Amino acid sequence: MSYLVAGLIRLGVVGLAGIGVVVAALVVTAAVARRQGRFAVVDATWPLLFVLVAWASVVAGEGSARSWLLAGLTTVWGGRLAWHLVGRLRGAGEDPRYPELLEDVPRERRFTVALRKVFLTQGVVAWFVALPLMVAGTTDEPLGPVAALGTLVWLVGLLSEAIGDAQLKAFEADPTTRGTVTDRGLWAWTRHPNYFGDACVWWGLWLIAAEAWPGVLTVLSPVVMTYVLAFAFAFAFATGARLLERRMADRPGYPDYTERTSMFFPRPPKRP
């Protein structure tokens, strides 16, 4: 009984540490968003929330090899994605997704409503998705073959996301392809290699956490992330494959592209 109580206390401390770093990061981001007059800056903060939670779990938890591994992998993934998103935000104005989200809100109330619809919602979901990182921080069991498998799944996801982003960036920089649909490289196998890779990253991190009890109980965290990425319109995040699909529907060539290319899970393209 005393062991159970001690475990719950450790979990509570790590959970509170996670809440603390998420709130602090979003408060700073909200201040920057208000100063710049655009909410799109929260996109770059999103992956960094997980990095902060991962390291808070190391500091507030047992400091085990598992939590160090998760923190390292999360930092590589989150740092790369944040850098990529900062590059897309540099020199750009407000992302049209956010005005669409707040179009029925009077201008004087938009920031207040965005605090709830954008910042608060992202904070809650980020904390929930990061539960495997926090739970793993309370255990000290040695790493095993499941952790190795999880690292492999994470690597597949990271490569899919990074290569997909690089291919899209090159496509968008080519003036001869302007106004068309990218169907090269990974984009010929799935319409969203970056979102698929993101989902793989979180299933890999969950596998690493699940190897040590009670990490397996956090399975809803990667489920939620996958749902947001692949199946939800996710207006609260102004992201997700389904929302992007709706925005791309009228682009020339996109209907044909959807006919021959898998929406989320990669597979060889269908013949015309």
- Tell me the mean pLDDT in the region 61-74: 94
Average per-residue pLDDT for the chain: 86
Q: Which residue matches tokens 């255990």?
A: 139
The answer to the question of residue 254 being in a domain is yes
pLDDT at 144 over 90: yes
Q: Is 77 exposed, middle or buried (0-12, 13-18, 19+ CB in 10 A)?
A: buried
> Considering the chain, what percentage of its residues have pLDDT values greater than 90?
49
Decide if pLDDT at 124 tops 80: yes
pLDDT tens digits, one per residue of 12-62: 889 999 999 999 999 999 999 888 888 888 989 999 999 999 999 999 988
Q: What pLDDT score was predicted for residue 228?
A: 85
Count other Cβ atoms within 10 Å, centred on residue 138. 25
- At 182, phi and psi to the nearest 5? -75, 125
- Residues 145-160: pLDDT tens digits? 999 999 999 999 999 9
Expressed as residue numbers, the domain containing 108 is 2-260
**Domain count within the chain:** 1
Residue 15 forms part of a structural domain:
yes
pLDDT bracket for residue 249 (50, 70, 90): low
User: CA–CA separation, 228 vs 73, rounded Å?
Assistant: 21
Average pLDDT of 170-188? 81
- pLDDT tens sequence across 208-243: 999 998 999 999 999 999 988 877 644 444 455 556
What pLDDT does 235 receive?
43
Contact partners, residue 151, CB within 8 Å, separation at least 6: 69, 73, 204, 208
Question: What pLDDT score was predicted for residue 271?
Answer: 72
Rounded to whole angstroms, the Cα distance separating 17 from 57 reads: 7
pTM: 0.89
Look at phi and psi of residue 224 and say left if phi exceeds 0, alpha if psi is from -120 to 50, else beta: alpha
Q: Is residue 272 part of a domain?
A: no
Would you say residue 16 lies in a domain?
yes
Quote the pLDDT of residue 252. 66
Q: Is residue 37 part of a domain?
A: yes
Whether 269 is in a domain gets the answer no
pLDDT at 1: 52
Helix axes 145-173, 193-210, angle to 10 degrees: 160
Residue 141 inside a domain? The answer is yes
Is position 268 within any domain? no
pLDDT at 108: 76
Question: What is the spatial distance between Cα 195 and Cα 241, in angstroms, rounded to a whole number?
Answer: 7
20 burial type by CB count under 10 A (0-12 exposed, 13-18 middle, 19+ buried): middle
